Structure 1
Amino acid sequence: MPVQAAADLAVVLADIDTLLACESPSDDRAAVARSAEVVAALGERLLGVAPERIVIDGRTHLRWRFGRGPAAVLVLGHHDTVWPLGSRDRLPSGIADSVLRGPGCFDMKTGVVMALHAVAALDDRSGVTILLTGDEELGSPSSRQLIEDEARGCRAAFVLEAAAEGGHLKTARKGVSLYRVHVTGRAAHAGLEPERGVNAGIAAAHLLLAAAALGDPARGTSVTPTLLAAGTTTNTVPATAEFAVDVRAWTVAEQERVDAALRALTPRLAGATVRIEGGPNRPPLEAALSAELFARASAIAASAGLTPFDGVAVGGASDGNFTAGIGVPTLDGLGAVGGGAHAEDEHVIVALIPERLLLLERLLQEQRSEASTPGEGR
């Protein structure tokens, strides 16, 4: 039998249900603020101290710092979700056949509860910081600087995003770059004198194909045009057009290559002009920055008799990309085991919650003991 985590599973499940009951769509600042208060109350009960409430651009983030010295380890998560208000009415949460379901349970309210319980189980929390943000699903526009500032100088960042399929930890993530390509032409009547126009839609089509060709499957680099719009009426030569581009790459070098190539694109249609907005949004989490922490996690799992897991590389991004991007060793996917992120079959395997709690507790204990950070409050 595996060694048990300190937390009582029934209490953990009740706490998860409390968070699920407070919906927190990222684009609703008031809903995120309400969620922050629920998370803050839960954390205060478990940790014995209230968090700092950090509001940036109207979005509420929560931070607990322990110890007077510099932070040794950052425990990172987010309490916002992709689910709009009312989703819980249509998809009520609950447990059946040892599976927990409900909007936001997998991504990532179970991970939030696990983070709080794992830190609460530590005899000495000095040197630990918990940061729970409220805009991760939007790309962390208001919290990125906060995340990087909290992570800087840490020995490790543990990200409570959900595990990969099969319960595997996430040891590498692609970097993300986001662009919007704006094309300007000249309007004209499509029937009377189309030759007087400069068709921005046609110019955009050529640019879109050129952008897509910048992908390199052999290197795992994808360049994907997504949203596309052009023109104003059906009988007018489009004077403007625009499209979005999503870029994913395993290395900073590939992000930089694609960025330079996109910015060098020029219209093939005479008279059209192009303007490109955006750029790298998240650096990659490269495998080298997770290797040592993953080895430690594997050793803990083996010694405690936990269900084995591997480390996998995934295309999706998280706030762990930011911590890795500034050189902090980062291990991701330490949260819930289950599946269906952002989908109606979102679910968590209840039996594996205690195992992952124990894993996080042991990882934190190791980092704490090695850091030997003095002090009781910060």
Structure 2
Amino acid sequence: MTASPAAAAAAALTTRAQEVSPRIVDDILTLVRQETSSYDLPGLATGLDLLRELTVQRLGRPDHEHRYPGGECGDTLTLTYAGTGAGAGHVLLVGHYDTVWPTGTLAGWEQPGASEDGREKLGGPGIFDMKTGLAQGIWALKLARESGAPLPTVTFLFNGDEEIGSLSSRPVIEEVAQKADVTLVLEPTAHGAVKTARKGTGIFQVTATGVEAHAGLAPQDGASAITALSEFVVAAAKVAAPDRGTTINTGLFKGGSAINVVAGQATAGVDIRVSSEAEQTRVDEELDAIKVSDPRVRIEIDHAWNRPPMTLNAASAPLLALAREVAREQGRDSLPDTAVGGASDANFVAALGLPVLCGMGAVGDGAHAQGEFIYPDTVPAQTALVAGVLGHLTHPLRG
């Protein structure tokens, strides 16, 4: 039986992705070797220059580009490649080039051994989250072009501050996403599944201001900020509701001036994850209601909600269906979707009611952990998936 044109095109695309897979992996490792800690501005600048150079090498000079200064964060770069044909759609591919790893981590990184079933693994700081996704996205457009099929306009948005909250890049992401028809975020998959729901995140700073006193001569005159803040942290942990998707973690705690001084000040950094706006409101109210035992200590809470919760909105459902159609054409049994606790820049796009899919990048595991790795044998399929989706978005997606 003769294959349909769609099936033949899908087969040719996946075959070509297999052929160039070693080159894609080389590009991934090139990006990994340039360390780009979120807090290393020179390293971020070099890393973004490298990423731009790699994109231009594979795709040629863009039809439009703009570099947005990040201030104390890494810059954001957009590169736009015009589509083919009249009325071409517009797809935004988003990826961050910063990593959680301090500069110098690479020197001591040990490569992982093969998995229990003998599959090869590749490790490195940021290889899973998310430099593999960056390289795969670039090659996806290259392969889609080589196929000769009509293509949408594609804009790459590379930002250097996602791991610290996209403090500088958020308005750029929101502005560009509103000009595009569809956004694909090249974050890693969840064991091969795309991510259609993510928790909202809060990065709260809690400050306790007490009264200093000599710890030996006049302890009764003091009001310990450390003791009060410790009480607050224990009470805050009880506000969590894991059954509702709400977690609260105090990850940083510091205070005091000397061991023999009743602490006059203490601060805590609190990470909060919620699955709904209702939980966000509840957490705000219950944290504000916490009282400490010493009324002389003042507790101040900076309610810094960083990303709204992301759900599979009505605009994104057709995009998920399209991705699954492409996966079937390419011979996959299924393309699962899932909800995860981490947040990404997709949260911003979903909150605007726009179509977005996240987790279109690497297959592996260990994000933010020393064992971070990818399975290189999945690189061709993931690259072909994004390329195939691009080929189906020649015109704006209709729900």
TM-score, with structure 1 as normaliser: 0.90
Shift of 1:95: 10
Matched, 1:53 2:67: yes
> Aligned to 1:37, which of 34, 43, 49?
49
> Aligned to 2:225, which of 176, 197, 200?
200
**What is the aligned partner in structure 2 of residue 375 from structure 1?**
none
Matched, 1:90 2:108: yes
> Aligned to 1:287, which of 309, 312, 330?
312
**Residue deviations 1:39-74 (CA, integer Å, cap 9, x gap):** 111111222115433222152222112349997321
Shift of 1:163: 0.8
> Aligned to 1:10, which of 14, 22, 34?
22
> Aligned to 2:129, which of 99, 107, 112?
107
Alignment of 1:238-317 (within 5 A): 238-288=263-313, 290-306=316-332, 308-317=334-343
Residues in 2 aligned to 1:302 and 1:308: alpha-carbon distance in whole angstroms: 7
Segments of 5+ residues of structure 1 without an aligned counterpart are 373-378
Contact 1:94–1:102 under 8 Å retained in 2: no
TM-aligned CA distance change 1:93 to 1:125, over 3 Å: farther
TM-score, with structure 2 as normaliser: 0.85
TM-aligned CA distance change 1:83 to 1:230, over 3 Å: closer
Residues in 1 aligned to 2:333 and 2:382: alpha-carbon distance in whole angstroms: 9
Contact 1:154–1:328 under 8 Å retained in 2: no
Alignment of 1:20-169 (within 5 A): 20-50=32-62, 51-57=65-71, 59-67=74-82, 72-91=90-109, 98-120=120-142, 121-122=144-145, 123-164=149-190, 166-169=191-194
Contact 1:306–1:355 under 8 Å retained in 2: no
TM-aligned CA distance change 1:88 to 1:285, over 3 Å: same
Residues in 2 aligned to 1:138 and 1:90: alpha-carbon distance in whole angstroms: 24
Residues in 2 aligned to 1:94 and 1:202: alpha-carbon distance in whole angstroms: 43
TM-aligned CA distance change 1:102 to 1:301, over 3 Å: same
TM-aligned CA distance change 1:100 to 1:208, over 3 Å: closer
Q: Which of 147-156 and 38-47 deviates more?
A: 147-156
**Residue deviations 1:155-176 (CA, integer Å, cap 9, x gap):** 3211111111x31111111000
TM-aligned CA distance change 1:82 to 1:270, over 3 Å: closer
Residues in 2 aligned to 1:90 and 1:200: alpha-carbon distance in whole angstroms: 39
Q: Which of 20-29 and 64-73 deviates more?
A: 64-73
Residues in 2 aligned to 1:211 and 1:20: alpha-carbon distance in whole angstroms: 38
| Paired-residue identity, % | 37
> Aligned to 1:212, which of 210, 232, 237?
237
Shift of 1:90: 2.3
Residues in 2 aligned to 1:302 and 1:29: alpha-carbon distance in whole angstroms: 43
**Residue deviations 1:261-300 (CA, integer Å, cap 9, x gap):** 3234444322221211242101111133543322222222
Shift of 1:209: 2.5
Residues in 2 aligned to 1:133 and 1:201: alpha-carbon distance in whole angstroms: 37
1:287 alignment partner, SS class:
coil
Residues in 2 aligned to 1:36 and 1:293: alpha-carbon distance in whole angstroms: 29
Contact 1:93–1:103 under 8 Å retained in 2: no
**Residue deviations 1:299-346 (CA, integer Å, cap 9, x gap):** 221222025332111101111111112222221111011112222322
Residues in 2 aligned to 1:83 and 1:157: alpha-carbon distance in whole angstroms: 27
2:213 alignment partner, SS class:
coil
**Residue deviations 1:52-111 (CA, integer Å, cap 9, x gap):** 332221522221123499973211101112223333332277997543332222111110
Runs of 4+ in 1 over 6 A off after TM superposition: 68-71, 92-96
2:26 alignment partner, SS class:
helix
| Letter of the 1:193 counterpart | A
**Residue deviations 1:145-189 (CA, integer Å, cap 9, x gap):** 11111112433211111111x311111110001111111111112
2:313 alignment partner, SS class:
helix
TM-aligned CA distance change 1:21 to 1:307, over 3 Å: farther
Residues in 1 aligned to 2:76 and 2:329: alpha-carbon distance in whole angstroms: 36
Aligned residues: 371
Contact 1:259–1:279 under 8 Å retained in 2: no
Contact 1:159–1:332 under 8 Å retained in 2: yes
> Aligned to 1:227, which of 240, 252, 262?
252
Residues in 2 aligned to 1:287 and 1:277: alpha-carbon distance in whole angstroms: 29
Alignment of 1:170-209 (within 5 A): 170-209=195-234
Residues in 2 aligned to 1:70 and 1:140: alpha-carbon distance in whole angstroms: 30
Q: Which of 41-50 and 22-31 deviates more?
A: 41-50
Q: Which of 216-225 and 35-44 deviates more?
A: 216-225
Segments of 5+ residues of structure 2 without an aligned counterpart are 1-6
